[in-house]
Amino acid sequence: MTIIELRNIYRKGLKLSNNECDFIYKIILKELCSIDPIKIALDPYHLLNQDSQNILIESLNQISKNYPIDYIINKKNFYGYDFYVDENVLIPRPETEELVQWVLEDNANNKSKKLIDLCSGSGCIGITINKENKYMDVTLSDVSEKALDICNKNRINLKSSVKMIKLDLNSNFISQNKYDIIVSNPPYLSPKEANKIGENVKFEPEIALFAPINKPLHFYKKIIEFALINLNKKGQIYLEINPVFIEDFNQLLSDFNLNDVNFRDDFRGKKRLVKVSF
């Protein structure tokens, strides 16, 4: 089968525009078949070997079932860095890049600070901060051993100096050395929102998506409790939050007498980012 014939199969098999189909096809060609997509234009009758044909057809079948292309190629670009991802971690989102940007903006000086990334997943937040600010002493933490394995893979691939620990936010963790900054994108969807999320999101790990039923702010409460024990005076927490529960989140802050709070809208205009200063 030729490279152009398979391109046309993608166009017929996906319910997308030709441009979108071609974009996906080119990604699979490059990432999984090691074929430069320019070959479609320069040599449209190039015969694909059987291995490449099998990869392309199998990928098409997966994508047609809404399986995320990022998991197929095991790669997601975040803040200019390519992170390894699979079904054990969330696929990094652009709004989370804005959370990282906020931390970097506030800490652009050369002061050494200790930062912990809670619920790290792929490690995209902590590793990016560590790569962009060499003065940040960054620790990644997650309850999932598989997620920590992926953090380690990304740490090695991106030549980062982050440290890693297994940490269950439901436990009473006490660090030997306190932190200056806590950053987190914890599970914040309500199980009731499961039917509203995109089909492709349903392939991502539930443990990283959903808060306990009827407790949408459970992990935010645990993060604040963690901060009260493990955060230095004048420290900050940077969080990604669920705009649906903004009133409940404000009440949670009030319950802990936290008043130095700043919110930011994400690029969609939703109140999704918050900084709490202690």
Specify the pLDDT at position 126: 98
Inside any domain, residue 165: yes
Q: Could you tell me which of 57, 75, 67, 66 has the C-alpha nearest to residue 7? A: 57
CATH number for position 225: 3.40.50.150
Give yes or no: residues 115 and 40 share one domain.
no
42 with 156, same domain: the answer is no
Number of domains in the chain: 2
What's the pLDDT score for residue 44?
96
Domain for residue 76, yes or no? no
User: Which amino acid type is present at position 16?
Assistant: L
Residues of the chain with pLDDT under 50: none
Q: Whole-angstrom Cα distance, residue 253 to residue 229?
A: 16
**At a CB cut-off of 8 Å and minimum separation 6, what does 12 contact?**
none
Report the sign of the C-alpha dihedral through residues 241, 246, 248, 249, in that order. positive
Give the pTM.
0.94
Does residue 197 sit in the same domain as residue 132?
yes
Answer with the one of 65, 96, 111 that is the final residue of a domain: 65
Whether 173 and 270 share a structural domain? yes
Number of Cβ within 10 Å of residue 187's Cβ equals 20
What pLDDT, on a 0 to 100 scale, did the predictor assign at position 211? Answer: 83
Tell me: do 185 and 118 sit in the same domain.
Answer: yes
The boundaries of the domain holding residue 12 are 3-65
pLDDT the model gives residue 199: 74
The pLDDT score that the predictor gives to residue 200 is 76
Instruction: Give the burial string for 20-40 (b: 16+ CB within 10 Å, else e).
Output: ebbebbbbbbebbbebebeeb
Q: Are residues 159 and 270 in the same domain?
A: yes
Q: What is the pLDDT of residue 194?
A: 65
Nearest CA among 179, 188, 173 for reference residue 129: 179
Instruction: Answer yes or no: is 97 within a domain.
Output: yes
**18 & 97 share domain:** no
Q: Residue 276, SS3? A: strand
Tokens 């995209």 sit on residue: 124
> Is 73 part of a structural domain of the chain?
no
